[in-house]
Structure 1
């Protein structure tokens, strides 16, 4: 048993993705660091913003890649004298930290946040999938534990002969993301709250705007009401030019982002390369339902919005049914005390609890299809 006189655990986390970048990796790590420090741990972050010489990532100028930083990473490692090292990303800093740990025989853990093999093949079709997984196998080969967000990802990496894979659940702040944020009333045929200037129902996408996110598939859908895109990225200019009917609101954060989730009628998450999709949990915690993509995809469902459970597979959505459900949600009258909007109506009970893990069949179950 630890005592008050023992020094706190010293943890070094090395990541190529960190604030001010806006992505799921940076968000998950930021919350992890906050909780570790709250538990009394001393956390040393090694990030691209620590004064290293950097170059822009191809097609992502906002992402900076440190170069010639191995000696500095080693100096910080020796100076901090960590009890544990976690390497969060497979970028240059990750490789430098891996080399330092290997040199001193120091154990480390790693994590798999992004399906880089699929990402690379989506951007450059001449790169075979096996080559990307060979890169991943080499990087994670000496890791004591490769942390992944779901058992589905563990099974996938195991099939590609990556060992020591362990599920690592993620969650969201259910005080920030909550159904009570939903605006109480809306004019007939209009959106609620932050969308009051738009026709309803409101279909929302939140995330980076890049080719691997498959945002084009969402924008190509024939849907009533309004399509709203929250986020930024290298594909924004082309998407805006090709879809003048969509509403691009740029990056949002904090209370503003939470309001955008709660006031939307449906979240659309079309990505086929994400390992998790933290925005799905943020939407579910906000009471906003979401359909699966246009083909069977990995999704999560839970008994509560704060924990990420094992993944499953849901059938493609029937968009006419989801359109009808969005119309009903957009037109739900306010009847809750204190002027709060009621919780969204439940999609029909085609949910199978064994399949999706949600016994309630409520908005937290993305596998449920609204009835017509």
Structure 2
């Protein structure tokens, strides 16, 4: 694993003490957790001392409308003790939940500088799940991130979106990576499902737009990898689709390898890590022309974007070139991603 994640960055560095605060951590399965976990391991492979302040060891409660996600409720003095003992040179706050809030409070109280990252469009999620007006949630997010020395985002379109919403700190790029030792092209073999196999990977929840995909009348087989609060209902309503549940590691890579096209129906993601994994496996992508897809699917050989998802699937099937997809997917490395993260950090004291 070290060679896959860290070898490209093995240049002389002074070891840094980096504290990363996150409310999203194992056993959650999502792109945020995968990004933070892989970046942390890569930093440690490079010799840096990384402290992850996560929900581990703290009391947790399930989110009422999304029980698979649990929110921790740590006492402030316990968070303060962790930060104080570690004596970080750099602080990065990855999420806006209770842990992120408490580490932010600690830094602000001491006049420390810190960076944040914007991973999730919570306003859009809350509107889709429970009807909370977006402007209310954006007001809270502006307050949270506008206290940072810099905000990290994955794409140019997300940067433009946040700037249009009056997020004022410098916005810096922090892209994403693919484990290229795992996600790579393989010969398509005969499988148990009629072709073409149209694959979608991600949380099975209302905000992910899966029903837009499932209700389409397309040839072949729709295969859904992932789990979430909408899975049982969607399985009932769309019995012709195949729901495989969560897959990770080689089992996930095998799902990509067995598919013919990747469908990304979400309009609320900030990036879409699964899209670049699909590309690295040689799968063209069909998606809506929104933040994330518009930054990744930049030419017809990589797939197609269309406000009509069915039309995007037809176009991607025609124009997608697996060899071009693989070459593009291989440009997204965790080494480059971690190099960006390091360059974006700021010392706690100017």
- Fold equivalence (TM over 0.5): yes
Q: Which residue of 1 aligns with 2:25?
A: 18
Residues 101 and 321 of structure 1: is their aligned pair in 2 closer, same or farther, counting only changes over 3 Å?
A: closer
Cα deviation code 1:260-304 (max 9, x no counterpart): 1122011110001000000000000110111122x656413379x
What does 1:52-201 correspond to in 2, within 5 Å? Answer: 52-125=58-131, 127-164=132-169, 165-179=171-185, 181-183=186-188, 185-186=189-190, 196-201=191-196
Q: CA deviation at 1:75?
A: 0.3
2:160 alignment partner, SS class: helix
Q: CA deviation at 1:7?
A: 6.8
1:268 alignment partner, SS class: strand
Are the counterparts in 2 of residues 229 and 250 from structure 1 also a CA contact under 8 Å?
Answer: yes
Verify: 1:32 aligned to 2:27, yes or no: no
Are the counterparts in 1 of residues 55 and 71 from structure 2 also a CA contact under 8 Å?
Answer: yes
Q: Which residue of 1 aligns with 2:216?
A: 221
1:121 alignment partner, SS class: helix
How many residues are aligned here? 313
Residues 227 and 94 of structure 1: is their aligned pair in 2 closer, same or farther, counting only changes over 3 Å?
A: same
Q: CA deviation at 1:238?
A: 0.8
Q: Which residue of 2 aligns with 1:209?
A: 204
Residues 365 and 322 of structure 1: is their aligned pair in 2 closer, same or farther, counting only changes over 3 Å?
A: farther
Q: Which residue of 2 aligns with 1:336?
A: none
Q: Which of 272, 284, 288 is 1:289 aligned to?
A: 284
Q: CA deviation at 1:121?
A: 1.3
Residues 302 and 106 of structure 1: is their aligned pair in 2 closer, same or farther, counting only changes over 3 Å?
A: same
What does 1:222-237 correspond to in 2, within 5 Å? Answer: 222-237=217-232
Name the TM-score, length of structure 1 as normaliser: 0.78
State how far apart, in whole Å, the 2-side matches of 1:345 and 1:233 are. Answer: 30
Are the counterparts in 1 of residues 74 and 99 from structure 2 also a CA contact under 8 Å?
Answer: no
Residues 57 and 322 of structure 1: is their aligned pair in 2 closer, same or farther, counting only changes over 3 Å?
A: closer
Q: Which residue of 1 aligns with 2:339?
A: none
2:245 alignment partner, SS class: coil
Residues 97 and 182 of structure 1: is their aligned pair in 2 closer, same or farther, counting only changes over 3 Å?
A: farther
State how far apart, in whole Å, the 1-side matches of 2:114 and 2:234 are. Answer: 41
Are the counterparts in 2 of residues 204 and 266 from structure 1 also a CA contact under 8 Å?
Answer: yes
1:227 alignment partner, SS class: strand
Q: CA deviation at 1:316?
A: 3.8
What does 1:357-368 correspond to in 2, within 5 Å? Answer: none
Unaligned runs of 5+ in 1: 187-195, 304-312, 329-343, 348-359, 367-372
Verify: 1:346 aligned to 2:321, yes or no: yes
Are the counterparts in 1 of residues 194 and 220 from structure 2 also a CA contact under 8 Å?
Answer: yes
Verify: 1:259 aligned to 2:271, yes or no: no
Output the aligned Cα RMSD: 2.7
Q: CA deviation at 1:156?
A: 0.5
Q: CA deviation at 1:117?
A: 1.0
Are the counterparts in 1 of residues 209 and 266 from structure 2 also a CA contact under 8 Å?
Answer: yes
Q: CA deviation at 1:315?
A: 3.8
Q: Which has the higher helix share?
A: 2
Are the counterparts in 2 of residues 56 and 63 from structure 1 also a CA contact under 8 Å?
Answer: yes
Cα deviation code 1:226-270 (max 9, x no counterpart): 110000011111111111111110100101101111220111100
State how far apart, in whole Å, the 2-side matches of 1:26 and 1:95 are. Answer: 18
Residues 302 and 241 of structure 1: is their aligned pair in 2 closer, same or farther, counting only changes over 3 Å?
A: closer
State how far apart, in whole Å, the 1-side matches of 2:77 and 2:312 are. Answer: 58
Name the TM-score, length of structure 2 as normaliser: 0.82
Unaligned runs of 5+ in 2: 1-10, 299-303, 330-350
Residues 90 and 182 of structure 1: is their aligned pair in 2 closer, same or farther, counting only changes over 3 Å?
A: farther
